[in-house]
Amino acid sequence: MSACRTPLPPETLLAYWLGELDEAGTAAADAHLLGCDDCGAALDALVALGDGVRRAFTAGRVGTVVGPGFVPRLAGRGLRLREYRVAPQGRVNCHVGPDDDIVLSRLSAPLAGLGRLDMLVHPVGGGPPQRAEDIPFDAAAGEVVVVMPTQRLRALPSGTERVELLAVEPAGERRIGDYTFIHRSSAG
């Protein structure tokens, strides 16, 4: 079989996998995939990537900022969640328990009217801050939900970690929240 001359774009494969194509789009993708080994292999790779990300996330190896509908889906899968709610300029004592699958922080902030929000994480023990750009947020609820990698949290020494939320606007950046997490080591 020769190489595909009209490969399905990755966004079409993703929408197909997620069941987001309309009936006509699904029928066209089905027909193409039945006769195209190249696009079938690309779809298989996409599914494998998604499965790998899901396993790494639920194992606590990666963290992310999530949208408002994601937390109920985590709880619905039976995962044990530990949540911390923090107001702007607030502080919270925190730790990760041995039975916690997911640790998340709900950072409240005035988000109405923002187009882009970035997050700076100043890690326990110092070092340069890590920046996450254009993170998802729920303007109506006035919160950002951060899921922390539990494996990283379990390995941290006791100490303080700071998170900043920055509104990125044409005129520059504006800090809209500063959050302090006083972490107690899992080792003691």
CATH (domain of 179): 2.60.40
- The arrangement of strands across the sheet holding 117-122 comes to 91-94, 172-183, 159-169, 117-122, 130-132
Q: Is residue 5 part of a domain?
A: no
pTM to 2 decimal places:
0.73
Task: Band the pLDDT of 2: cuts 50, 70, 90.
Answer: low
Whether residues 25 and 84 share a domain: the answer is no
Whether residues 136 and 52 share a domain: the answer is no
- Over residues 144-179, the pLDDT tens digits come to 999 888 888 888 889 999 999 999 999 999 999 999
**Domain extent for 164:** 63-183
Whether residues 50 and 83 share a domain: the answer is no
Whether residues 68 and 122 share a domain: the answer is yes
Task: Band the pLDDT of 59: cuts 50, 70, 90.
Answer: low
- Over residues 87-105, the pLDDT tens digits come to 999 999 999 988 888 899 9
Whether residues 67 and 142 share a domain: the answer is yes
Whether residues 95 and 135 share a domain: the answer is yes
Whether residues 71 and 128 share a domain: the answer is yes
Whether residues 127 and 87 share a domain: the answer is yes
- Check if the beta carbon of residue 178 is closer than 8 Å to that of residue 119: no
Q: Is residue 169 part of a domain?
A: yes
Whether residues 38 and 69 share a domain: the answer is no
Whether residues 107 and 178 share a domain: the answer is yes
Whether residues 68 and 42 share a domain: the answer is no
User: With b meaning 16 or more CB within 10 Å and e meaning fewer, what string describes 91-120?
Assistant: eeebbbeeebbbbbbbbbbebeebeebebb
Q: Is residue 2 part of a domain?
A: no
Q: Is residue 134 part of a domain?
A: yes
Q: Is residue 18 part of a domain?
A: yes
Q: Is residue 26 part of a domain?
A: yes
